Structure 1
Amino acid sequence: MVISQSQYYISPEEYLEGEKVSEIKHEYIDGQVYAMAGASDGHVTVVGNLFVLLRNHLRGGGCRVYILDMKAQIDTINRYFYPDVMVTCDTRDKEFEYFKCYPCLVVEVLSESTEGYDRGKKFASYRHLQSLKEYVLISPDTMSVECFRRNEEGHWVLYPYEKGEEVHLASVDFRCAIAAIYEDVSLVEDNTF
């Protein structure tokens, strides 16, 4: 979540060096840094659950899963973000210690203050990653997983998953019951119907 912005231009190199010693995380957008706020219990639990599920699924293969503290670099538009969960299967990413350039899967867990940004400008930024096959948005308090998958024509198609369904992340050939992602999360009852 964005909580403050700097007032002067910072180079990508300055940003990366500063993040190594900073007590708080910052996202980087074209020379400006934005401090990130903490997350709710549900947010952190969903991220942890998905990390464990993906890590167990990918173990022993060529893919790596990262959470919270690993940056995604979008070099073509001068951006660095901290996805909640990110998977890269590209061996070129092994040479980067503090960020990854070629993720195939990016997951953001939503919050009230960042939902519009995650769905809009952040998703638009992530679409500049040619390696990205899926962008996933997860509600932290209702069973709702929205998977945006790039098709053969390069268009993004929505695959929504709700209570009782199996989530499929084709980029890493992963399937699980949606309930597994929400294990130990206190959910809000949806009485809108």
Structure 2
Amino acid sequence: MELPKRRPEFDIDAYMAWEEGLPERHEYLGGEVFAMSGGTDAHYTILLNTATSLKAALSGKPCRAFISGMKLRVDRADAVFYPDVFVTCDPRDRQPEASLAKQHPALIIEVLSDSTAAFDRGRKFEHYQQIDTLQEYLLVEQDRKHADLFRKNREGLWVLHPAGEGDVVRLESVGTELVLEGLYEDVEL
């Protein structure tokens, strides 16, 4: 008697090959794929303001900022995500084999929406914490001027540094600061 044929697993490498030819973006988590939905005007304006500020601040430094079209591969979590913005300073992310997905960010930034906030603050953050090079995780709200920066301390614990109206967010991981008001330029709250 012949055994039933096993359905091949959809692993990260299969996902990477599959998604490369698609016009839509999908995140990958443990063999499942999830279509990415579009964002609001506020979401994309905050994303652009954040990326623009980081690009200017990182000029001349060995770090590069990427926006939501670049994949972030987290092998230890069996996941591939599209963070809104992230920065990598690691030379491994400049190699030709890293042209479609980076793996060694120092900073990840997510702009929160009603549909993603719980996942971004919870399970996604758990997965991101498995990245050895990650030092800071910034969550920016889009419906009020507020951001939560989580920074890994010397003991490996993630410490919350909230920021509100009039505050400056100090990003030690990349040696720069973001004026919170600037992230909300042209955003109608």
Q: What interval of TM-score do these two structures reach, taking the shorter chain for normalisation?
A: over 0.9
| 1:9 and 1:32 in contact (8 A); partners too | no
How far 1:165 moved relative to its partner? 1.0
Match of 1:190 in 2: none
Worse-superposed segment, 13-22 or 53-62: 13-22
Counterpart of 1:86 in 2: which secondary structure? strand
Letter paired with 1:48 = L
How far 1:60 moved relative to its partner? 1.5
Counterpart of 2:44 in 1: which secondary structure? helix
Q: Distance in 1 between matches of 2:150 and 2:178?
A: 17
How far 1:176 moved relative to its partner? 2.8
Counterpart selection for 1:114 from 95, 106, 116: 116
Give the gaps of 5 or more residues in structure 1.
1-7, 188-193
Cα deviation, 1:10-60, whole Å, max 9, x if unaligned, reads 221221112211111000001111101000000000000000000000012
Match of 1:163 in 2: 165
Q: Distance in 2 between matches of 1:33 and 1:19?
A: 10
Match of 1:144 in 2: 146
How far 1:9 moved relative to its partner? 4.0
Q: Distance in 2 between matches of 1:22 and 1:101?
A: 21
| 1:169 and 1:175 in contact (8 A); partners too | yes
Give the gaps of 5 or more residues in structure 2.
1-7
| 2:11 and 2:31 in contact (8 A); partners too | yes
Counterpart of 2:130 in 1: which secondary structure? coil
Match of 1:173 in 2: 175
Question: Do residues 72 (structure 1) and 98 (structure 2) align?
Answer: no
Counterpart of 2:173 in 1: which secondary structure? helix
Letter paired with 1:178 = L
For normalisation by structure 2, the TM-score amounts to: 0.93
| 1:134 and 1:147 in contact (8 A); partners too | yes
Aligned residues: 180
Letter paired with 2:23 = E
Cα deviation, 1:53-88, whole Å, max 9, x if unaligned, reads 000000121101000111111111211000000000
Instruction: State the identity %.
Output: 41
Q: How do residues 28-177 of structure 1 correspond to structure 2 at under 5 angstroms?
A: 28-95=28-95, 96-177=98-179
Cα 1:153–1:57, aligned 2, differ >3 Å: closer, same or farther? Answer: same
Q: Distance in 2 between matches of 1:19 and 1:128?
A: 23
Cα deviation, 1:103-126, whole Å, max 9, x if unaligned, reads 000001001011111100000000
Coordinate RMSD, CA, aligned? 1.0
| 2:168 and 2:178 in contact (8 A); partners too | yes
Q: Distance in 2 between matches of 1:176 and 1:76?
A: 30
